Amino acid sequence: MLQSCSIEHAVDEVLARLPAHIHLGMPLGLGKPNGFANALYQRIAQLPERQLTIYTALCLGRPPLGDGLQRRFLEPFIERVFGDYPELDFLADLRRDSLPANVHVQQFFMQPGSLLHSRSAQEDYVSSNYSHAARDINAAGLNLVAQLLARDPQDPQRLSLSCNPDITLDLLPMIAKRRAAGETILLLGQVHPGLPYMPGDAEIDAEAFDLLLDEDEQRTLFSTPNMPVGLQDHCIGLHASTLVRDGGTLQIGIGSMGDGLTAALLARQADNPGYQALLADLGSPYWTPLIEAQGGVEPFAQGLYGCSEMFVNGLLVLADAGIVRRKVYPTLELQQQANAGTLDESQAQGGVSVHGGFFLGPRSFYQRLRELSQEQLAHFNMTAISYINELYGEEALKRAQRRDARFINSAFTMTLMGAGVADQLEDGRVLSGVGGQYNFVAQAHALEGGRSILILRSWREAGGEVNSNIVWEYGHCTIPRHLRDIVVTEYGIADLRGKTDAAVIEALLNISDSRFQPGLIEQAQKAGKLAKDFRLDPRFADNSPQRLLAIQARHPQLFPEYPLGSDFSAEERDLLRALNWLKSKFKLSEILELGKAALDAPEPQAFPEHLQRMQLASPEGLKEDLYQRLLLAGLQATTAASPG
C-alpha cells in the first residue's frame, strides 16, 4: 500500500522493512532523488552492522572548480546555473576514496573523465551494455528503487517516469516476478515539479510505489550547458550530415560533436545552397557515390524519426525545425501502411517521432519541454531502453520503424585497422563506460539499410603537444574491428564495411591529419598490411587545420559557435575561448617559467569587462599580474577570429 511520508520516515521504513544489506537502484543521470539518497547514505554510514550497495550510472555533480583562472571563471557561472542543486554525498566521498567500509557504489557509466583517479569507482565499475543493466542490477539482489517523478497536471494520481523510464520499465516485470516469489522489494518516488510530465510509456500509477515522499523536490535540476562547437566538430558534423537519409532514422549523442551534426542538419534544411557550397569546399564530391547510396544533401521532404537512448537537446531542436517529424506507429499493420504511404496520418493513433530512454540537457531544453502541450509532448515517447537499444522483442515492428537507420556515436581514438575506442584508457581506467554504443553498432549491422557512424576528431592538442587520434594500435577497444562500419573526422568519411585491411587503412589515412600520415603509413607497411609502394592520394595530402580555417573564413555563417544557444554571457564566451586556447598551448609549469614578459598580451583597457568578470581588473601581487597577462594573451589570440 502506498505511503506518503517524509524523507526521514522513508529511511526508517526502508531500514525496518529490508534486510541488513540494502541494494539501492537509482536511475542514470537526472532522475535520482538526491535528498533521499543522501539521508539513507548518512544513516547507513552510522550503522556498521548494515550494508548499502548503490547501483546506478552517470552520477551528476558540479564540475570541480580547480584553481587559478579556471576557478575565477567557473565559480560565478556554477552558482548561476546550478544554484541550489543538491550534491550527492556519496559522490563526493567516492571522488576522495573515502566511502565508509559498509558502502559500495557500482556504476555502469560514469560522468566522462570525472572518476579516473578514484580507486573505489574504478574497482566497482561494472562493464555492462546499457540494454543489460536492468538484468545485471536485478541479479545482484536489488531490493530498493528510488526515482524522481513528474506529476500529471490534470490527475494527481498519475505520475510519469519523465527523464528516466529507461531501466525502470525494464526492471518492473523482474521485480513483480520476485515479489510473487515472496521477496520484499520497495519502490520509492519523489515528485520534482521542474520535470516535464512525459506521456506515453513513461506514465505510471501512483499505486505502483510503496513510498512517495510528501515533499516535492524543489531544488534546481542538474543541467548540462551547451558547450562551444569548434571548427573540428562543425566539419565532423557537416560530413556526417551527408550520410543521414531523408525518411530515415537518427540516433545522436550528447556533446559538441553531436551539436555540430545538429547544426549541419539545420543548415541542410534552412540554407541548402550555402550548405552544399560549403560541402563542395570541404571536398565532399570525393564521397558523392557513398553519399548518394547512403545519405543525401537535399532538404528533408519526409523528415526523420529519432530513435536514441538519450533524447538530446539536438533532437528537440530538429523537431522544432520540422526535420525530426517522421512518425512511427505502435502496430506492425499501421507501420507497414505508413512505410507504403497508404496511411491517413491525420486519423492514425499513437504516432511518435522520437523514442528516447532518458534525457539530460541545458536549462532551455527542460523549459521547452515544459512549454509544450500534452498533444505535442505525445510525439516524444520516453520508454524502456530494451525497446530502443535492441531489436529482439517486437522485432518485426522495430525493423519496420527503423528504416535507413544512422546510429552516430563518438570515439576518442580509432586504430588504423578500424577498432574504435570510446570508454576506457589502455591502462584499464574507465573514462565513462560502453553505455549503449555497442548496442547501436551491432544493431546497425543487423538492420537492413542501417549504418553505424563513429565520429572523432583526427587530432588533439594539450599543453602544446599535438597527437593523432588515429593510431596504429591501442591497448583497448570498445568496438572491435570486425564491427567496423563508417568513420567520420573533420577531414571526411571512411567507409570500412566489408573492406580488406589494406583498404580500411587507406580509407582512414585519407581522413587523418597530414602531420601524422607518414608515420602511420610506415607503421602499416612495417606490419605487412600496406604495400611498400603505397602512395597517398594527393587530394588528402593537405588535411590540415589551416585548410579548414580558410574554408571557415569563406563560409562564416555556417560555423555558429553555439548553434543550440548558450548559458554563457558574451564575455564568458570570450573567456572560455581564451582559457581553452591557453590550456591547449601551454602547460602550467611552462607558463610559470616563462613569466609574464614572454607573453604577447594587449593592454588591460582592451578587455575591461572581461577582466572585471575574472576579478583581475586591478591585480594584486605577481601571481594575479601573471593571471591578467595570461588572460589578455588568450583573449587577444582568440577573440578577433571567433566564429559568429
Domains in the chain: boundaries: 3-64+84-213, 231-457+467-546, 570-638
In this predicted structure, what is the pLDDT of residue 591?
Answer: 60
Q: How far apart are CA 213 and CA 23, in angstroms?
A: 19
For residues 574, 579, 585, 588, the Cα torsion angle rounded to the nearest 10 degrees is 160
The β-bridge relationship of strands 3-5 and 103-107 is unpaired
In this predicted structure, what is the pLDDT of residue 436?
Answer: 96
In this predicted structure, what is the pLDDT of residue 644?
Answer: 45
The more confident residue out of 180 and 154 is 180
Q: How far apart are CA 81 and CA 85, in angstroms?
A: 9
C-alpha cell belonging to residue 555: 563560409
Position 226: which residue type? N
Give residue-wise pLDDT tens across range 475-485: 999 999 999 99
Binning pLDDT at 50, 70 and 90, where does residue 463 land?
confident
Model confidence at 9: pLDDT above 50: yes
In this predicted structure, what is the pLDDT of residue 216?
Answer: 83
Model confidence at 401: pLDDT above 80: yes
Label residue 213 exposed, middle or buried (CB < 10 Å: 0-12, 13-18, 19+).
buried
CATH architecture of 3-64+84-213: 3-Layer(aba) Sandwich (3.40)
231-457+467-546 shares the fold of 3-64+84-213: yes
Q: What is the mean pLDDT of residues 302-317?
A: 98
User: How far does Cα 478 stand from its chain's mean position?
Assistant: 16
Average pLDDT across the chain, whole number: 95
| Contact status, residue 456 vs residue 514, Cβ threshold 8 Å | no
Fold observed for domain 231-457+467-546: Glutaconate Coenzyme A-transferase (3.40.1080)
